[in-house]
Amino acid sequence: MKYDLNLLPVFVALMEERSVTRAATRLGITQPALSNSLARLRDTLRDPLFIRERYGIRPTQLAEEIAPTIEAALARLDELIVTQQEFDPAKAERSFTLAPNSYVELTLMPALVAKLGELAPGIKLRMTAFGNDLHETGVVSGTTAMVLGRVVDPPDNLVVQHLMDDGLACVVRAGHPQIGGSLSREQYESLKHVNVLPPGRLRVGLFQALGQQNLRRDVAISVTHFLAVPEMIAATDYCATLPSLICRGLERDPRLKVLPAPVDLGTFPVEMAWHVRYRNDPAHRWLRSLVIETANLLTKEK
């Protein structure tokens, strides 16, 4: 019996997206074309495969049973094909979607983009947000090349690699009337603070570090991005506790003063994760090596 292998990516997209619209967009085809492929799949397997529901589609029991086998077969085919391909970064014309958290986007991505401009000018990057949900980034389905940040409880189809560790420091305005060249625990606890609430696990790590040291903060205002902090601090007598790499950039602002935290708040990890199907893809391997190199240079400069 002959099978149309072109139908298998359609099946995988429907399984992972649970939506005909999103699956068609992911595959770059029209909804009628996808519906036609689904009809052929149903005819071949003699099963409805997906049942329409109010907010999408639900796989049948047969679809759930055969999905791991089909996904593994496609991943193996991808691996066999891409390992035979050559990759020349200087000549490559490709696009990659990356999902950095807000910390990585501010600290690591500018240096990475600069390196790409020098080594691989034909490679384009698109950024998508990385908060708490790995599935929303597209990395679990493989539509996103990698996520960068804190990766917690990854599914089995993701490979996770440690990139670097960063610490925490404090920033106040340069002319602060109460703070000189250092910051004591008493001063820290008496000040009002700007708190950063980015999406994801970064904020959890800071709260845990403060709790472990029994260090209190009087939070006057919470913002959603690190970029809001410099203007807040420059206009007030508040304090902010930020990752050291971000503080390094703020040291260039004459309005601000960066100081060590009054107690050791430890470090937090930064990780990179990607779908297993890209493990041996030459282009992805090269891009991952460049990310690692960039992270190593950043930490050496600290």
pLDDT digits (tens, 9 = 90+) for 204-258: 677 788 888 889 999 999 998 899 999 999 999 999 999 999 999 999 999 999 9
Which of 116, 21, 97 is closest to 278 using CA atoms?
Answer: 97
Q: Where are the alpha helices (DSSP H) in 19-60?
A: 20-27, 31-45
Residues 158 and 280 in one domain: yes
- Beta-carbon contacts of 176 under 8 Å, excluding residues fewer than 6 positions away, are 237, 257
Residues 195 and 209 in one domain: yes
Residues 208 and 283 in one domain: no
Residues 172 and 257 in one domain: yes
Is the pLDDT assigned to residue 174 strictly greater than 90?
yes
The reply to whether 242 falls in a domain is: yes
pLDDT per position as a tens digit, 51-70: 998 888 999 999 999 988 88
Q: Indicate which CATH number applies to the domain containing 197.
A: 3.40.190.10
Residues 60 and 183 in one domain: no
Residues 113 and 252 in one domain: no
Tokens of 113: 């983009």
Domain final position from 42, 61, 82:
82
Residues 54 and 137 in one domain: no
Residues 57 and 185 in one domain: no
Average pLDDT for the chain: 89
Residue-level pLDDT at 94: 87
The reply to whether 2 falls in a domain is: no
Residues 14 and 146 in one domain: no
Tokens of 211: 């709790």
Tokens of 112: 């990475």
The reply to whether 254 falls in a domain is: yes
Q: What is the torsion angle, in degrees rounded to the nearest 10, for the CA atoms of residue 130, residue 135, residue 136 and residue 138?
A: 80
Confidence class for position 13, pLDDT limits 50, 70, 90: confident
Is the pLDDT assigned to residue 168 strictly greater than 90?
yes
Residue-level pLDDT at 62: 93
Residue-level pLDDT at 97: 93
Tokens of 70: 């089909």
238: containing domain: 168-266
Cα 272 → chain centroid: 8
Q: Cα Rg for the chain, rounded, in angstroms?
A: 24
Angle of CA points 135, 139, 141, to nearest 5° = 75
Instruction: Specify the amino acid at residue 230.
Output: P
Lowest mean pLDDT among 25-34, 66-75, 172-181, 262-271: 66-75
More confident residue, 289 or 278: 289
Tokens of 80: 């066999």
Residues 181 and 216 in one domain: yes
What mean pLDDT comes out for the span 128-150? Answer: 86
Strand 50-53 and strand 268-275: pairing? unpaired
Q: Indicate which CATH number applies to the domain containing 30.
A: 1.10.10.10
Residues 46 and 33 in one domain: yes
Inter-CA distances, 301 with 116, 188, 264, Å: 20, 27, 20
Share of the chain above pLDDT 90, in %: 57
Residues 206 and 152 in one domain: no
Strand 239-243 and strand 168-173: pairing? antiparallel
The reply to whether 89 falls in a domain is: no
Is the pLDDT assigned to residue 194 strictly greater than 70?
yes
Mapped onto helix, strand or coil, the DSSP state of residue 160 is strand
Residue-level pLDDT at 60: 93
What mean pLDDT comes out for the span 157-165? Answer: 94
Residue-level pLDDT at 280: 82
Is the pLDDT assigned to residue 201 strictly greater than 70?
no
What mean pLDDT comes out for the span 124-130? Answer: 90
Count other Cβ atoms within 10 Å, centred on residue 67: 17
Which of 133, 152, 196 is closest to 170 using CA atoms?
Answer: 196
Domain final position from 82, 117, 133:
82
Which of 169, 104, 105, 128 is closest to 302 using CA atoms?
Answer: 169
Domain final position from 61, 82, 103:
82
Domain count, the chain: 3
